[in-house]
A and B are shown apart, each in its own frame.
Chain A
Amino acid sequence: MSRIHKAFENGKAFIPFLTGGDPDIATTEKLILAMAENGADLIEIGIPFSDPIAEGPVIQEADERALKNGCTTDDLFELVKRVRTKTEVPLIFMTYYNPVFSYGNERFFKNASEAGIDGIIVPDVPFEESDEIRSVSKKYGVDLINMIAPTSDERIEKIAKAAEGFLYCVSSLGVTGVREKITTNVGEMIEKVRKVSDIPCAIGFGISNPEQAHTMAQVSDGVIVGSAIVRLIAESGNEAVEKVSSYVKEMKAAANK
């Protein structure tokens, strides 16, 4: 069993995302450790991709910066290995299928598992196409995290039944990015999950402030924040570690208020 279940044993989970290698690998390493120390229950590390079709501008730009600085999949495996010597916080990769597929599914999950990765999110592989990943990831004990979206409706049941680790509940239509308001009734989506599974449900897309974290935590087991953190990293330069640390602390508290 992966470490992911532990993320949901400490009240409502707070799950920050950052793009690996943005602005560089050394900073990513410091940020991951700081996030873990300040209350992150699980950390999502993005493997940058040239064409991230589910991302809004903030994460697109982070991917571009990381790739321009030469960040590779191998660099991130090495990074995870180093981080694993210092923390037991659950770590998952978020990336698109081509970086995994071209690396070779077998080789990718073997390396990911040895480095200490607990799960993976691949947003451009929907449930119907997920067998070719799951058959390999399972063998190496890496959870394939399924997603449900506001459009999923009757698809929720079958997706939830097959879920591993936790279920990523997409709060809004469109791409990732900060939103002023979340208008979808995410609670209703999660109720549908609850009818068939007790898998932990975490909500992502659009969440940026403590108030939203609190509201979303009321109807779920955790909240995921990506763009707001990536933007904070991009804007804070040398102070990024400090700023992200206090942000994570604040959001974890808000989710559990």
Chain B
Amino acid sequence: MGEKKGRYGDFGGQYVPETLMPAIHELEEAYNKYSNDPEFKKELTTLLNEYAGRPSLLYYAEKMTKDLGGAKIYLKREDLNHTGSHKINNVLGQVLLAKKMGKKRVIAETGAGQHGVATATAAALMDMECEIFMGKTDTERQALNVYRMELLGAKVHPVSTGTMTLKDAVNEAMREWAGRMDDTLYVLGSVMGPHPFPMIVRDFQKIIGEEIKAQLMEREGRLPDVVMACVGGGSNAMGTFYDFIKDESVKLIGCEAAGEGVDTPRNAATIANGKLGVFHGMKSLFCQNEYGQIDEVYSISAGLDYPGIGPEHAMLNETGRAQYVSITDEEAVSAFEYLSRVEGIIPAIESSHAVAYARKLAPTMSKDQIMVVTVSGRGDKDVAAIARYRGVKIFD
């Protein structure tokens, strides 16, 4: 039998129907070719710098630092990227790759809509057709992003099967890709799915951690003590962590969504509650019942509302190299409000999960320690939902 590809310890792999195998092999070959091609790298760097606005700022959150009274806190401002989140890093890479592969059309899943918006943006820029699959529930709670995608020329398909959220959007995008792959690339939005996606997405996102390291070296002349990020599938966290994995003094912390609480039925805390399984092309941890049926998960954040986690995170958790904590809706919403008031930065509700844990951890650390929190996206898209959560009626 062929060698097993894309393994992170026991996790990962390529669990997809036969129909799709040639498509993921084609993608793998193309990626291996272009990721080492100086011309491709140059084009991508130009796009990232001139179009997306990289490098993103590493901002010293002085007021937050003083208020919490512990570690010095830096925020990695992925929210300042074009389209408002880290998703653009991966999408520019994958859509450029699709173009090189001669594809004319890209499809993508989206949860909160950030990956969908980023994909629609890159598709507009590079003259590709674009279709986005989004759970019907998510199209309702993120209606503004649906309209943004349509403005950008994408067609949005509300997915009304299963739980009508991110997981079902992935199902539907995979089904669509299995039906049309000659001219179409599936642009997966996180470090998940079958190999080579977890590797490709991590490679396109690792710029986050590389920049943090260089920027902090310039400012402080040293490595941080802690870096942290929110985790759904795990792309901004993987991007943040990757360059620090070999620096053992740096503590890596992923913040997952506990919804109404990890002990309640309504959460999306995969590391806390998931079991080993095989789904969406990968062996990893999944929230599931005793018969292997995938659970309906819940978080106030549509971007973290996913029953699985990328295989490399599952490995980092198992080896203990990274630590994963759970943050409830209430804690995330409080952090959303806190960062808005203290620093004048409205973070995405996803990123607010990382901010929430920073508020817990920073006071326990000493003033000569340094913590970096990745603010993966901006919170404009969440304003209406947070108002609703707080019982405030606004027109949206």
Chain A residues with a Cβ under 8 A of chain B: 49-51, 53-54, 56-57, 60, 64, 67, 72-74, 96-103, 123-131, 146-153, 155, 158-159, 162, 170, 173-175
Distance between A109 CB and nearest chain B CB, rounded to angstroms: 15
B17 touches A128 (CB 8 A): no
Nearest chain A residue, comparing its CB with the CB of B281: A124
**Chain B residue nearest to A52 in the complex (CB):** B171
A151 and B275 form a contact (CB under 8 A): no
Cβ contact within 8 Å between A72 and B291: yes
Is B278 part of the contact surface with A, judged by Cβ < 8 Å?
A: yes
CB <8 Å contact, A102 and B21: no
Which of the residues B1, B22, B279, B288 comes within 8 Å of A152, measured between beta carbons?
Answer: B22
16 contacts between A and B (CB under 8 A): A49-B293, A50-B293, A51-B167, A99-B291, A101-B276, A125-B15, A126-B21, A128-B5, A131-B1, A149-B17, A151-B20, A155-B18, A155-B22, A162-B1, A173-B179, A175-B179
Among residues of B, the one whose C-beta sits closest to the C-beta of A56 is B175
Do B18 and A98 touch (CB < 8 A)?
no
Q: Which residues of A contact B21 (CB under 8 A)?
A: 126-128, 151-152, 155
Contact residues in B for A50 (Cβ distance below 8 Å): 162, 293-294
The answer to whether A127 touches B2 (Cβ under 8 A) is: yes
The contact string, 1 if C-beta is below 8 Å from chain A, for chain B 9-24, is: 0000111111111110
Chain A hits for B168, CB < 8 A: 51
The reply to whether B277 and A98 form a contact with Cβ atoms under 8 Å apart is: yes
**Min CB distance, A217 to chain B, in Å?**
22
Query: B364 interface residue, CB < 8 Å from A?
Result: no
A60 close to B161 (CB less than 8 A): yes
Interface centre among B162, B178, B291 (most CB of A within 10 A): B291
Instruction: Report the minimal beta-carbon distance from A177 to chain B, rounded to whole angstroms.
Output: 10
Residues of B within 8 A of A57 (CB): 161
Closest residue of chain A to B278 (Cβ to Cβ) is: A97
A57 to B1, alpha carbons, bound, how many Å?
33
Enumerate chain B residues within 8 angstroms of A155, measured Cβ to Cβ: 18, 21-22
B292 touches A175 (CB 8 A): no
Main secondary structure of the interface of B (DSSP, over half): mixed
B47, chain A: closest CB distance, angstroms: 31
Complex Cα gap A125–B180 (Å): 20
In whole angstroms, how far apart are the Cα atoms of A97 and B291 in the complex?
11
Quick one: closest B residue to A123, CB to CB?
Answer: B17
A98 close to B17 (CB less than 8 A):
no
Q: Evaluate whether A150 and B19 lie within 8 angstroms (CB atoms) in the complex, with A51-B167, A173-B180 already known.
A: yes
Tell me, yes or no, whether B383 is within 8 Å of chain A by CB. no
Are A98 and B1 in contact, CB atoms less than 8 angstroms apart? no
| Distance between Cα atoms of A47 and B5 in the complex (Å) | 28
Q: How far is the CB of B105 from chain A (nearest CB, A)?
A: 15
- Shortest C-beta distance, A65 to chain B (Å), equals 13
B50 at the interface (CB under 8 A from A): no
Q: Is the CB of B178 within 8 A of A174?
A: yes
- Name which residue of chain A comes closest to B24, CB basis: A126
Whether A174 and B2, one on each chain, are in contact in the complex, defined by CB atoms closer than 8 angstroms, is no
Q: State how many angstroms separate the Cβ of A104 from the closest Cβ of chain B.
A: 10
Q: Could you say which residues of chain A place their CB within 8 Å of the CB of B16?
A: 124, 126
Q: Could you say which residues of chain A place their CB within 8 Å of the CB of B19?
A: 54, 149-151, 170, 173-174
Interface centre among A51, A127, A128 (most CB of B within 10 A): A51
Q: A98-B288, A101-B277, A152-B21 are in contact. List 10 more A-B contacts (CB 8 A).
A: A53-B17, A64-B161, A72-B291, A99-B293, A102-B290, A123-B17, A126-B16, A126-B17, A146-B18, A173-B19
B276 to chain A, nearest CB (A): 8
**With the chains together, A123 CA to B15 CA distance in Å?**
9
Cβ of A44 to closest chain B Cβ, rounded Å: 16
Give every chain B residue within 8 A of A124 (Cβ-Cβ): 15-17, 278, 281
Nearest residue, chain A, Cβ from B293? A50
The 7 closest A-B pairs by CB, nearest first: A174-B179, A102-B292, A149-B19, A98-B292, A99-B292, A128-B2, A50-B293
Tell me if B4 is interfacial: C-beta within 8 Å of chain A: yes
